[in-house]
Amino acid sequence: MTTYYQLHDSPLGTLLLLGNGEAVTGVHVAAGKYVPELAPDWVCDAGQGVLLSLRRELDAYFGGRLRRFSVALEPQGTSFQKKVWAALARIPFGETRTYGQQAQVIGQPAAVRAVGAANGRNPIGIVLPCHRVIGASGALTGYAGGLEAKAFLLRLEAGS
């Protein structure tokens, strides 16, 4: 299947948006960790379909007008990662959870570190809100887009 991409300006800097024509497969802060390199066979999407919808939703989210994304998602990962990422989608806008709480949600309370690792590899940042997961002490820990980006997103959702 063809991979389509767009670069999109945001308050977090440039975002790399990826899709397969039917669903979003990636949202990455370009200056962050685990950002895939542009492959020669990827096609720059000229603003059609799912990536156009994603851009509009991201702009509305950053503008404080969107609390829940509706674009189709198709994250690629292991079955465990997909379970963790599905649990992320259930964290309400403006709320946070700890890694331990997320491990309990997926029915694996001893898998706190594995949940943290899966969150770190979340390929669809912002939309699958791994920024809403914090340390047990309330500290902001780990975010592939950078801790400043995580803090920004949490402030945005808190309305401050």
Q: Is 4 exposed, middle or buried (0-12, 13-18, 19+ CB in 10 A)?
A: buried
- Cα gap 142→8, rounded to integer Å: 23
Nearest to 123 by CA among 157, 149, 85: 85
Q: Is 130 a catalytic residue?
A: yes
- Cα gap 128→91, rounded to integer Å: 9
Continuous segment of H or E residues that includes residue 151: helix 147-158
User: Which of the residues 124, 128, 130, 134 is marked catalytic?
Assistant: 130
Nearest to 17 by CA among 132, 117, 133, 123: 123
- Would you please indicate which residues are annotated as catalytic (active-site) residues? 130
